[in-house]
Structure 1
Amino acid sequence: MIFDEFSIKSLIRPVPDFPKPGVIFRDITPLFQSPRALRMVADSFIQRYVETEFTHVGAMDARGFLIGSIIAYALNKPLILFRKQGKLPADVLAEGYQTEYGEAFLEVHADSLCEGDSILMFDDLIATGGTLLAAASLVRRMGASIFEAAAIIDLPELGGSQRLQDIGIPTFCLTTFALSDR
């Protein structure tokens, strides 16, 4: 199946003024309601990473879980969950970060990765990069490295992809939206 950025992009619903006035939320729910679109998204990532060298797939809470779990399954890699504060039951490492809307904490099980591991990180979109930057800090605290940060959507005007690249983390996104795109 050939990836069609325009059909994928057309299935990402803009929701004005959510979660606060002035923000256009990029809702990926319609992508998951279309089996064809979900297959195109998943297959695009699988084809990109099938012959690459990393040991784990990391998925960001919560929408990153949707695509990250599919990719981990397809590539036969362990899945590491990066969760919002208070959601993991065992010993955790935590990292605070800034979001577009305020402050938050990201946690991961402290025994998720070991020195020498390499992780491909997934989220639904890259905005300011806060979540992925926090995850990268947690990964590095465990002695592992980041292979790449991937997402369905990039919002380049918010600078997250650039922040990740500035600290040596390559990024890959299937599509981009300008802040003015409705």
Structure 2
Amino acid sequence: MPNLTLTQDPAADELLGRDPLALLLGMLFDQQFPMERAFAGPRLLADRMGVDTLSAAAIAEADPERMTAWFQGPPAIHRYPGSMAGRAQAVCRLLVERYDGRAEALWADAPDGRDLVKRIGELPGFGAQKTKILVALLGKQYGVTPPGWREAAGEYGEDGSRRSVADITGPESLADVRRAKQEKKQAAKAAAGS
């Protein structure tokens, strides 16, 4: 079991390390929301559902209003609780339909990095960048290393990089990643302004 430190909250990180669905949902929630809070969201969801491990089938079948209420909190699991609750259910429905409800089945038998990118990219809410970051996170910290995974992850797969959640191994690397993201945003703003 990976020893993750993505949230800097031991209970949330422990769930991410032992529950592949929690990791997948944390990645889903990492959008227009602080990274640590996004990845702590699965722990909040599990607590509110009264479970120790998340179930794709239970989330897929949950009443949408109840899901939204769980996401609203307080504290909210995401900045946009209604839409993110729906997206989480859509991801879990796809997992139930194609992967017997098992998030780890997405990557367990992926023959190579390109196939892994294809599989993850088919999930609702997973665009190209989020998909590459998850491939890097799986490879760097979860032990999922099919041939060509680094190339498939692009710049996020580079050894020693500090670009994304895939590179967070503690408070120092978290600060490095946060700084790199801020620099990237500033460079994009400067380019748009010129």
TM interval, short-chain normalised: under 0.3
Instruction: Give the TM-score of the pair, scaled to structure 1.
Output: 0.27
Instruction: Give the TM-score of the pair, scaled to structure 2.
Output: 0.26
More strand by share: 1
